[in-house]
Amino acid sequence: MVDKSVSGGLPKYWPILYVVYRLKRVYNSFNLQKYLYLAKVEGNAPIEYVFVNDYCGPRCASIKQDAISLGARGYLRVSFENGWVFEITEEGARVAEELMNNLPVEVKNAFDHILEEYSSLPVVKLRDYVYNDNNVHQRPGAKLRMRTEYEDEYGELKNQIKSEINLLLHDFSGMESNGNTLFLLGSLDYCMLVLKREKLVDSFQKDNLITLISGYVKKVMLLRELMGDNPELVGEVCLNDLKEDFELIQEASEEYKVLPALYEEGIDLSVFVDVEE
């Protein structure tokens, strides 16, 4: 039986199920959230989720939580492969089709248009589209404004982030080695190397990359603060959300030709290490 918990006979989660039903498979919660955001803002779909801005652009944490809950109910298959993966099940398809009967044709057409236009965009280009300082959309491929006058500010910000990374590297390197500490040390080393190599002249790309890294480092700092005087807890924490965010950093770094992603086969990052501060 389909939930009828909101006005109009549609449950709050209907757009999640709709997206995964249409696309069959959605890779990472970032994409899922952005499709719903665009459907709400550009497609005027009756979506109840509320979005706030963060370093990944408009985000609504409850979308991922609800998608995982739909997995527990058997509507979606949920897995993790360096990012959350959502796939429709037979039962989920049945429920989605029942929900679609309650959707006005214009809503379905608008939503389908959003998915057709944006589902093929690489994750970095999708983020570039939905994110900028004023949360104003930029059409894919649009010419971006250059802001070379802010180079000093960029330099100060990068130095601050490097300082925070160094503190975290010092802390985590002194903890017992396990899968989580190795991931954290490796991801922080990668972020440090990106900051050292980054010489982007396109200020929009520079903003995106530095903001992604800054947000990621702040999340790791929060994790370290929450552990307090119990560093052994690091091995028991689920880092899936951090891993997904780190995937975005790697994709942006590779897309902007700063540094190859770690998941690329045969990559030897040691050739990039000799970088002057």
pLDDT per residue as tens digits for the range 23-81: 999 988 888 988 999 999 888 899 999 888 766 678 888 898 899 999 999 999 998 87
* The overall pTM is greater than 0.75: no
- Token pair belonging to 132: 């900028």
What is the phi/psi pair of residue 43, to 5°?
-95, -5
What is the phi/psi pair of residue 52, to 5°?
-125, 155
Provide the pairing of β-strand 25-27 with 84-88. antiparallel
What's the mean pLDDT in 113-133?
Answer: 77
Place of tokens 């997904």: 244
The backbone region for 165, taken as left when phi is positive above 0, alpha when psi lies in -120 to 50, beta otherwise, is alpha
Task: Check whether 142 has a pLDDT greater than 50.
Answer: no
13 vs 11: CA distance, rounded Å = 5
Q: What is the pLDDT of residues 187-197, one digit of tens each?
A: 999 999 999 99
175 vs 169: CA distance, rounded Å = 10
What's the mean pLDDT in 122-131?
Answer: 74
Rg (CA), the chain: 20
What's the mean pLDDT in 5-15?
Answer: 74
What is the phi/psi pair of residue 182, to 5°?
-65, -40
- Angle formed by the axes of helices 179-197 and 240-255, nearest 10°: 30
Least confident of 126-135, 195-204, 225-234: 126-135
Domains in the chain and their CATH numbers? 7-130 (1.10.10.10), 148-272 (no CATH)
In terms of Cα–Cα distance, which of 188, 234, 244 is closest to 214?
A: 188
Strand partners, 80: 84
In terms of Cα–Cα distance, which of 87, 210, 98, 112 is closest to 154?
A: 210
pLDDT: which is higher, 205 or 3: 205
Q: Spell out the SS3 assignment of 90-105.
A: HHHHHHHHHHHCCCCH
Which strand (E) or helix (H) includes residue 214? Answer: helix 203-227
What does the chain come to in residues?
A: 277
Please give the mean pLDDT across all residues of the chain.
82
Band (pLDDT 50/70/90 cuts) for residue 135 is: very low
